[in-house]
Amino acid sequence: MEALKGVRILDMTHVQAGPTCSQLLAWMGADVIKFENPQGDATRGQLRDVPNADSLYFTMLNCNKRSITVNMKSAEGKTVFVDLLKKCHIIMENFGPGVLDRFGFTWEKIHELNPKIVMGSIKGFGSSGPYSDFKAYENVAQAMGGAMSTTGVPDGPPFVTGAQIGDSGTGLHLAIGLLAALHQANRSGQGQYVEVAMMDGVMNLCRVKFRDHQRLTRQSLAEYSVPTYQGMGEVPRAGNDSGGGQLGNAVHCKPHGANDWLYVVVQEAVWEGLAKRIGPEVGVPDLATDPRVASISERRKNQQLVWTLLNKFAEKYTKRELMAILNPLDVPCGPIMSTEDLATDEHVRGRDMWVELDHPKRGKWYNVGMPIKLSASPAVITRSPLLGEHTDEVLKQVLGYDDSKINALKGAGAFSAPPKKAA
């Protein structure tokens, strides 16, 4: 049995943060009804690569869902919305501040209509505080949550990460909150409002940097390759430093292309074996006992020497060859894997993390798989829905409407924008 079988979710979210959350819940078996306006989620048409087909931006975030279109600007559409509210366990939204309120559905009203329902809300900066009315975006959240100021090299500009920690990271946080609230609702009979702000989510993912922020009030940070000092205040950008107690960095391998790098962590326990292996090949046969790098404290002080020697050693090997040398020495390491590397990787395919799907309008395409592996209820991934594909199905199966009622609602414009009247 699927883990969340029997849980019904009314998903009013769009773009990335909310759909990330609802897709994960759908993969765990929830019946996710994607509630769209007649024009549909904006990402259906964004960055489109196949004419007249939903974009990959949409399809990769909306698998395993059913789509229903409802015109919330009509009285009949609002009636359908209310009926669905009463049949669902969770409702999700990520509209701008006040949008749902203006339709007449505050949290208080929703709770009144269905006291047990859990409401999930994603906002850029939350519903309280001086930033609450600001517009948010992935990179804005990274900027204001602390990630950008600590990403990059010391003398260069701050960088955003390639991972969407502002959007998808927030969606992951919301999934945890919704499941916790649903568990409580099942015990108490009362739902609650679950809010995750994108800025807050990014701050949580930067927890290690806030650790270092407080350490700087008492000491310098010996593990950093860039200069730090007590009372420095802000945590500096430190390139590819490991950010932990062990030294770590990326070394460049042959043939020295953009992604021909191996990330290496020099743990204290493996230093002797590592030094004995690389020392003779880089002209320092006694590297293991060299006083400049013999102890962890000295390696921290002279870590530029460590990385210079490792890079010199790496010049003769590809990233995979170097990985094969270091793994038997128990040196934690991993190649910098490009999107092409990952899309063709045996390990990735074997763990169902690159899954082929078929779409009626775009044909064959791939999605990133389910990262959470449940032994008794593994995810079965199905394609994303066409706009409004399941409108009749949901109305009949979930709400019990008959054909005559559905046709009457269609005629009243409950599921589409009403036709323009002739002048």
Q: Is the dihedral of CA 304, 307, 313, 314 positive or negative?
A: negative
Nearest to 36 by CA among 380, 419, 384: 384
Instruction: Tell me which residue has tokens 């009622």.
Output: 405
String of DSSP letters for 322-347: HHHHHGGGT--EEE---HHHHHT-HH
402 in active site = no
* Spatial contact of 333 and 324, defined as CB atoms under 8 Å apart: no
Strands 31-36 and 8-11: parallel
Q: Which two tokens mark 149?
A: 């100021």
User: Of 11, 31, 167, 212, which is the active-site residue?
Assistant: 167
Can you tell me the distance from the alpha carbon of 359 to that of 105, in angstroms, rounded to the nearest whole number?
A: 35
**CA nearest 202: which of 389, 50, 17?**
17
Q: How does DSSP assign 343-406, residue by residue? A: HT-HHHHHTT-EEEEEETTTEEEEEE--SS--SSS-----PPPPTTTTHHHHHHHTT---HHHH
Q: How far is CA 48 from CA 41, 55, 423, in A?
A: 13, 4, 35
CA atoms within 13 Å, Cβ hemisphere of 100: 20
The helix/strand/coil state of 181 is helix
Task: Reduce the DSSP state of residue 179 to 3 states and report it.
Answer: helix
The SS3 call for residue 279 is: helix
The set of residues, in sequence order, having a beta carbon less than 8 Å from that of 128 and lying 6+ positions away, is none
Catalytic residues: 167
